[in-house]
């Protein structure tokens, strides 16, 4: 059945009725034009729920006028939703990213309408979800309606992210540049952390890393490495130079050898040009990408993630600042556990030693009240700051405290030692 061809984004979005549960395509594929239209349309509807991961340029949906019309339900917070989450005006769902598609497919979470952005159909009538497959493929498979922005500027990527034009309910076509996320990793702290993490990476490792200054700083230090692979939830521009240098060739992987595997990408136009029609990069369903049983099949998995706070026992808070929700659980534990089970695998949590312009130590005696433990102290291998690496696996609480205080900012070390004795009765 052919989709309804709409002349405006609002015309397409007008198919949404009161009481519906919606899913929006996320990350760099956030369908901004359709979401801006939804912000307008929602004022004429009530009790809409918008399921989402991190979105880009979707601030229009956070306007106060939408209260009682649309409520955000976030599996991962981002700039457009963070304030709402912290004010209790949006809902945060802590969940491993790998389990989001499972909830959709099992029917545990119903979806009435999926709002997506795709490439134009090819000669076979097949569109591509482009630079972001994540949980959107699963959402499209179960949604009653699919409303799509067909964007000629969306790269056509290989992997799982295909949807037939005839499966779309309504379409609206317009060229629009995708969000670009250019990262500056040249600051001294990120570079120092990058150098420390790079010493832990071995030739032939299979890398998982996030987006940000620290992952890019790590990647910039790996130019001399050989036979690296990539099986990651997401990647950005930092990977490109290593591919061009031949440092990343995916030759040692057991799962999808020769292929860079990801769930989504977010970066510069150079990155989007690189993944366009590139069979060496496959964008896969995040239920597969982040499946611990699949991750562990690759040998020497090296998982590199970040955190907001770590306590001296090794508990890792990555989704909140105290009770204030900042981001989400995401795939950190999916990959830390997968790396831990991989033959020769290791995991790293990398973070600056301080926050708030050096006034707060991110390595704390105890986590802030309400802080979310995303990675337990039993799962942690390495914690890295600009002051060095602390190896915690198999270490006692006393040994962990000593190692972590040694990589805390020097001005906080004496205080941490004193508090560790007072709170934990550990004599260091």
Spatial distance between the Cα atoms of 136 and 24, rounded to a whole number of angstroms = 8
Spatial distance between the Cα atoms of 234 and 246, rounded to a whole number of angstroms = 20
Local structure of residue 423 (DSSP, 8 states): H
Of the residues 56, 134, 233, 287, only one is catalytic, namely: 233
CB–CB of 363/413 below 8 Å? no
Task: Tell me if residue 249 falls in helix, strand or coil.
Answer: coil
Spatial distance between the Cα atoms of 4 and 100, rounded to a whole number of angstroms = 29
Known active-site residue 233: yes
Taking Cα atoms as reference points, which of 337, 332, 284, 280 lies closest to residue 306?
332
Spatial distance between the Cα atoms of 349 and 351, rounded to a whole number of angstroms = 7
Local structure of residue 247 (DSSP, 8 states): S
Spatial distance between the Cα atoms of 395 and 342, rounded to a whole number of angstroms = 20
Between the alpha carbon of residue 148 and those of residues 92, 191, 297, the distances in Å are 26, 41, 36
Spatial distance between the Cα atoms of 360 and 345, rounded to a whole number of angstroms = 32
Residues carrying an active site annotation? 233
């Amino acid at each position: 059945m052919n989709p309804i061809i709409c002349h405006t984004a609002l015309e397409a979005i007008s198919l949404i009725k009161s009481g519906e549960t919606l899913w929006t395509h996320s990350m760099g594929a956030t369908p901004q034009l359709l979401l801006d239209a939804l912000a307008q349309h929602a004022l004429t509807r009530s009790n809409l729920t918008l399921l989402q991961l991190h979105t880009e340029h979707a601030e229009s949906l956070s306007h106060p006028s939408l209260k009682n019309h649309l409520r955000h339900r976030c599996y991962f917070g981002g700039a457009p939703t963070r304030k709402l989450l912290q004010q209790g005006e949006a809902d945060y769902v802590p969940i491993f990213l790998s389990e989001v598609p499972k909830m959709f497919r099992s029917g545990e979470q119903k979806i009435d309408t999926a709002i997506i952005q795709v490439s134009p159909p090819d000669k076979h009538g097949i569109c591509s979800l482009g630079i972001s497959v994540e949980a959107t493929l699963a959402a499209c498979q179960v949604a009653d309606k699919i409303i799509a922005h067909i964007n000629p500027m969306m790269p056509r990527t290989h992997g799982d992210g295909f949807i037939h034009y005839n499966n779309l309910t309504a379409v609206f076509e317009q060229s629009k540049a995708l969000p670009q996320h250019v990262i500056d990793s040249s600051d001294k702290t990120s570079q120092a952390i990058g150098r420390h993490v790079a010493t832990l990476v071995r030739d032939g490792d299979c890398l998982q890393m996030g987006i940000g200054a620290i992952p890019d700083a790590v990647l910039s230090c790996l130019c001399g490495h050989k036979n690296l692979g990539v099986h990651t939830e997401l990647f950005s521009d930092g990977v490109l130079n290593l591919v061009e240098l031949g440092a990343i060739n995916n030759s040692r992987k057991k799962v999808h050898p020769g292929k860079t595997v990801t769930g989504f990408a977010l970066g510069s136009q150079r990155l989007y040009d690189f993944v366009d029609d590139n069979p060496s990069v496959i964008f896969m369903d995040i239920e597969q990408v982040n499946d611990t049983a699949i991750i562990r099949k690759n040998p020497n998995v090296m998982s590199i993630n970040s955190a907001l706070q770590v306590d001296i026992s090794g508990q890792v808070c990555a989704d909140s600042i105290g009770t204030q929700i900042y981001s989400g659980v995401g795939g950190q534990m999916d990959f830390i556990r997968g790396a831990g089970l991989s033959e020769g695998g290791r995991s790293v949590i990398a973070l600056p030693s301080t926050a708030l312009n050096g006034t707060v130590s991110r390595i704390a005696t105890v986590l802030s009240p309400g802080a979310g433990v995303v990675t337990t102290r039993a799962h942690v291998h390495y914690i890295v700051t600009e002051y060095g690496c602390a190896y915690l696996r198999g270490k006692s609480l006393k040994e962990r405290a000593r190692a972590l205080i040694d990589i805390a900012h020097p001005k906080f070390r004496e205080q941490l030692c004193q508090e560790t004795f007072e709170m934990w009765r550990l004599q260091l």
